[in-house]
Amino acid sequence: MRCFYIGDHTPSHHPLIDAAKTMNLHAIDLAIIAVYTVITLALGFLVRHKAMRKLESYFLADRSIRWWMLGLSGCSSYIDIGGTMVIIGMMFYVGLKSVWITHIFWGFFMMAFYMAFQAKYIRRSGVMTLAEWNVTRFGETREAEHVRLATATFLLILMIFNLVYLAVGTGKFAEEFLPFSRGTSTFLVFAVVGVYVTVGGFFGVVLTDIFQTSLIAIGTVLLTIMVFQIPETANLLALKDPAWSTLTPTWELWPSYLQQTPESHQHYFWFGPIMLAGLSWLVFKILAGPVVWDFAFFLTTKSPREASLAAGMWTIGHTLRWFLSGSFLFLGIYYLGSAADFDAEKIMPLVMKQLPVGLSGLFMAALLAALMSTISAMVNVTSSVILNDFLKRYFAKNMTEKNLVRLGMAASLVTVAFSFSFSFLYDQIISIWELMIFVILTMILLPGTMRWHWWRFGSKAFVWSMIGTGAIALVQKLLFPSWPIHTSIGFCTVASFVLTIIITFLTKPADTEILVKFYARVRPFGFWRPIRLEAERRGLVPQNDAMPRIDMLNGLIASLFQLTLGIIPFYMFLRQWSQVWIWCGICVVTAIALYFTWYKNLPSPDET
């Protein structure tokens, strides 16, 4: 069997990797990148005066973004370089089963639930930040203020980790092309983003994202065409284990897997336990809803209906990522052949070194577009948290709107500088990725779920649940650091769930008036019976309202729809056309079902 071993360091004996070490981009490629950079900066300055009017203009674009614009913006914001490099490396090892890992273990199914109900729930709140949202759920009490402060602190830490993760991926990618060190390359990219986000606010983020989505789409189409110009892919995979090309889940991966992969990816060998642990984590991930920058995205739309439509386009547009990742994967296998000891997370830049002059610059611009759109969204939201949940609320209460906007611009610059500095603590992208999603996010998933779906869950329960779940994750890491990741996730999820239930019954719920107002406005599904009956008695919601049950149904149908969009491209690259047509059929059937269960039940255009 051909050995596709990926070591931690790049060896010096492979000719393609040697070339990657010494080659720089051609002058034409650099010119293309320079033009892209100038256009991106110009778009930021173009909307500067519009963004400077007031805080809501700077951070939420006056809540006037059309759904198709936000949908296109979200497409590129969810396609970052670091994440795509991790996906390509993981696909290289695991093969087609990586679709299950990305959707279940990494939680990508959350987009389907944004589309099904979370987007409209969030927009109905009418707030500016996630921390501020807690007021609509828990009221204006001292305990609710503690919730807001805890949420803002958590979100700030999480966003910094997100930006650090992006900085690590940026440096790892850019150092292959630019004649600078990893640190200098990362600094240049973050500097460009910092300028157009700071001057353009959210208007600038959306405009540049739409431009960047167009670039990504063009690059992805060209890459896909190149893959289908390669001779039959069966020859490339002839020496791969047959299980690499199958979708069926198994308890363990093929016997030679552990010998062919580095330590950072060996936990995927226990595929069944990984999926079970990931599923337990996923349930709370999708029910908690977005807890980072994507929360703020839905607040910028004109109405709950447009927020749902934007999430639908977002779900469909994310298919670009699977074509992009699959193209680089198969071109990487084609170019690298049976080479050993290379870093799988660098397949993407190594492949780009083989592209003709001009195309390299175009793809570099497209990938920088993907990266910058993600960074810009996160910087905008992080500075919003710093300003609205800390500075404005506690230290700058009497500032004018324009001065607050300037303070927000300063917060954006500080965010960029801080995350760039901390990126030097990590080398492997997957290390910071899994630390971020499995340790830090664990603190918010349980309280985040309960606040949407259980009336009994109060503000004190929220704070103590965050503290308790964080303590459980910390104790597990300190006392049992050698546990496999699936054991750690399963233990933390179950223990945190039990603790949260106990804390909830030991503390008081929010005031009934607050809960009735919240339920009548948002209409979430879950354990709301006493509140729902009171809202029905007051005539605030329809009797026996079917919409919460329809929301749950749409979540399941949209998940299957999203899964088909991830599977179809992989089968296309494998050229297993019978499977392509089967999954295309499933995709069409679920799309038709969503037309009747989701689209026909969207909120009224008049709802604001």
**Token duo for residue 307:** 């927020």
More confident residue, 465 or 295: 465
Residues 37-85 have pLDDT tens digits of 788 777 666 656 565 565 565 566 666 778 888 888 777 767 777 678 8
Q: Look at the block and give the residue holding tokens 């870093």.
A: 343
Q: Look at the block and give the residue holding tokens 């300055």.
A: 45
Look at residue 23 and tell me whether its pLDDT is greater than 60. no
Residues 115-166 have pLDDT tens digits of 999 999 999 887 767 767 888 899 888 888 888 788 778 777 777 777 777 7
On whether the CB atoms of residues 307 and 327 are closer than 8 A, the answer is no
User: Phi and psi for 454 in degrees, rounded to 5?
Assistant: -145, 115
Task: For residues 244-268, give the mean pLDDT.
Answer: 88
* Every domain of the chain and the residues it spans: 15-453+459-508+545-601
Task: For residues 382-391, give the mean pLDDT.
Answer: 76
Residues 531-550 have pLDDT tens digits of 999 999 999 999 988 999 99
Least confident of 158-172, 213-227, 287-301, 554-568: 158-172
More confident residue, 470 or 328: 328
Q: How confident is the model at residue 556 (pLDDT cuts 50, 70, 90)?
A: very high
User: DSSP letter at 387?
Assistant: I
More confident residue, 197 or 394: 394
| Core vs surface per residue 362-391: b (16+ CB within 10 A) or e | bbbbbbbbbbbbbbbbbbbbbbbbbbbbbb
More confident residue, 220 or 239: 220
Report the run of H or E that residue 419 belongs to, with start and end.
helix 401-422
Look at residue 258 and tell me whether its pLDDT is greater than 80. yes
Least confident of 393-407, 480-494, 532-546: 393-407
For the chain, the average pLDDT equals 80
- pLDDT for 562 equals 96
- pLDDT for 16 equals 45
More confident residue, 177 or 294: 294
Is pTM, for the whole model, over 0.85? Answer: no
Look at residue 336 and tell me whether its pLDDT is greater than 70. yes
Look at residue 21 and tell me whether its pLDDT is greater than 50. no
- pLDDT for 360 equals 80
- Give dist(CA 376, CA 293) in Å, integer: 10
- pLDDT for 526 equals 92
Residues 264-275 have pLDDT tens digits of 788 899 999 999
Q: How confident is the model at residue 388 (pLDDT cuts 50, 70, 90)?
A: confident
**What superfamily in CATH does domain 15-453+459-508+545-601 come from?**
Sodium/glucose cotransporter (1.20.1730.10)
Task: For residues 480-493, give the mean pLDDT.
Answer: 85
- pLDDT for 55 equals 59
Q: How confident is the model at residue 434 (pLDDT cuts 50, 70, 90)?
A: low
More confident residue, 379 or 516: 516
Look at residue 340 and tell me whether its pLDDT is greater than 70. no
Between helix 459-479 and helix 130-138 the angle, nearest 10°, is 130
Between helix 359-384 and helix 142-174 the angle, nearest 10°, is 160
First to last CA, the chain: 60
- pLDDT for 379 equals 74
Look at residue 443 and tell me whether its pLDDT is greater than 90. no
Look at residue 300 and tell me whether its pLDDT is greater than 70. yes
